[in-house]
Chains A and B, each alone.
Chain A
């Protein structure tokens, strides 16, 4: 339905998006993951016709939309990363304005506004001025504004940033509902792995402007299929200890967690004896030891050597 081909963007010589190939099939829910500054928002801006790519193409049903964005604008709903609402207007007035400029037919506008307000659960607050809303409520109206024209494709750029878990779950449920019962194609951007794991069938992982991995959840996890993740809880730790563990040749990665370390090592390699030995030497007690199922977070760590929210 939608695809990008070798999409690139440079701001004054600095390339922030490089040769990105994405595709979204009808009805799919796809995640775009990446740390701050990975180029996610820039990619979205190019897909949604806000920004002209330096090179590459964006196609909707096989037709390029770069020079003629009219068609994609009609079917696309974009929830920007920032709250893009008139702070001085009421929720209703905002929706009415955006509905009208999205050319929602006059006869349907009123019912569409009420439906979307219902969907985001803010029907009773529609007469209030946006300025007086909480962060989570603003986020929800921010999403509602992109839904009025019943878009076939919905692109959400970190729609849950900076809000409480309750609002977050509400929003995630809402998007899932749109995808599952309305058949809306979703591109969901985030740096929260859990959200993407919950919501999306397929994931692209971006870093430094490039797609570094992509595939379904299990495909991505199979990247780690020859590795084990262990969580070790310790009463204390020091650098010598971590260094010693890193130096074991089957160990790929050691990461400090709050109360211990996380070790990624070659599958089935027995490092427990070494672990106990080094702990003993440094006078460190092992309080707990646990094998973990790898997450996308681990995939990212594996690919980049960094965590998503570094």
Chain B
């Protein structure tokens, strides 16, 4: 099997033109795109997220405020001289208003769109995918909150945060809200008695991953985006490049010579597949390192970050190797190498498009986006974007497992497609 691997790598190495194209072209593209596009995004270097949050306010803040003022005035626990001061603080910062104001503040405005709507509209919106998440401020929220802060009553109401599935974006919104609430709690607590009261919490959607609360770093720079998406894209081409060589081996009759020996089919496939793995890996890692060397794309990142990056690159390369094994089987079955190449290009452009390597994925219809996350490149792109925000190893496991399963399925398909004697066209 090693014999085949050496042969395939040697053949690739002999074709210097291809080596140069495969490695320099994506690097060049990253640089050119980053430089030219960064002009367009000068004011706002952050990636263009557009998240929509449905806000449901079931709470009647005004009524609660009036009630609260009344109970403060009547209270015997609170000294009379503190009462006007307390009422003034609350009036200056009514909790629900603070939340809505924060959510629509300029800070969040460019990536978060908040719409106030009814509970049922939120449910529908999330189901249909038009909304990324919903935040529900329940009935009596203000009243309960104020009471719990100032009269030491237990707080029974909670904000609910709902989302169809957990994703990086959803986690981000959740985190932002959580962070804000913590601050608000602290403020109220200080203004009340000095003792710390955990007044407000939001319910997390089920199965949500623990996030590291670093809300300041969730922007992806344009050059980071291009590095990752071009890396994922060009590796995709590698699958086809290697499989195309099978067509050459058929044309040059060397494949027949191999078929004349007692070599099992999977040795031939192994050579192709493992060569694809090695070449893809080198390619993607070189794109990352090259972009970093030229543009400083990942400057100041930790060792953990780099390890995660290279880990995902390796897993992704496995998936690409799986893809190339299928393409190899296809190419053995098809008589015309041009047909084979056409099919490869179609597969790659399809994967590249729905995986979001060519165009920002959010302009695609929802169902296509969902398929996109099942393409190895789409998944890798999404995970690495997330990895750029949060260096939490737990976000890598699931995608890594998915990619490995995809690889396994690819190998099975490839063996099923592999032609028997006399079926080679």
> Which residue numbers of A lie inside 8 Å of B, CB to CB?
48-52, 69-70, 73-74, 76, 78, 80, 82-89, 93, 97-98, 100-103, 129, 145
Contacts and interface: CB of A to CB of B under 8 A. Distances in A.
Interface of B: 3-4, 6-7, 10-11, 14-15, 249, 252-254, 256-263, 267, 421-422
A97 B261 CA distance: 12
Nearest to A74: B262
A48 B260 CA distance: 7
Given A101-B258, A145-B257, A85 B252 contact: yes
Given A97-B3, A100-B3, A85 B254 contact: yes
Contact of A80 (B10, B11, B256, B261): B256
Given A89-B10, A129-B14, A52 B422 contact: yes
Contact of A49 (B3, B253, B260): B260
Given A50-B421, A51-B422, A84-B252, A73 B261 contact: yes
Nearest to A149: B261
A100 B6 CA distance: 12
Contacts, number: 66
Contacts of A101: 3-4, 258, 261, 263, 267
A73 B262 contact: yes
Contacts of A73: 260-262
A84 B14 contact: no
Contacts of B6: 97
Which of B4, B15, B249, B254 lies at the interface centre, i.e. has the most chain A CB atoms within 10 A of its CB? B254
A86 B422 contact: no
A89 to B, nearest CB: 6
B261 A102 contact: yes
B422 A82 contact: no
B361 to A, nearest CB: 39
A80 B422 contact: no
A84 B253 contact: yes
A86 B252 contact: yes
Contacts of A70: 262
B257 A84 contact: yes
Nearest to A53: B422
Given A83-B253, A85-B252, A89-B11, 6 more contacts: A50-B421, A51-B422, A80-B257, A84-B254, A84-B257, A88-B11
B141 to A, nearest CB: 73
Contacts of A52: 421-422
Contacts of A82: 253
Given A74-B262, A88-B11, A101-B261, A50 B3 contact: no
B256 A84 contact: yes
A244 B306 CA distance: 93
Nearest to A131: B14
Contacts of B422: 50-52
16 contacts: A49-B421, A50-B256, A50-B260, A51-B422, A52-B421, A69-B421, A84-B253, A84-B257, A85-B252, A86-B7, A89-B11, A98-B257, A100-B3, A101-B258, A101-B267, A145-B257
B254 A86 contact: yes
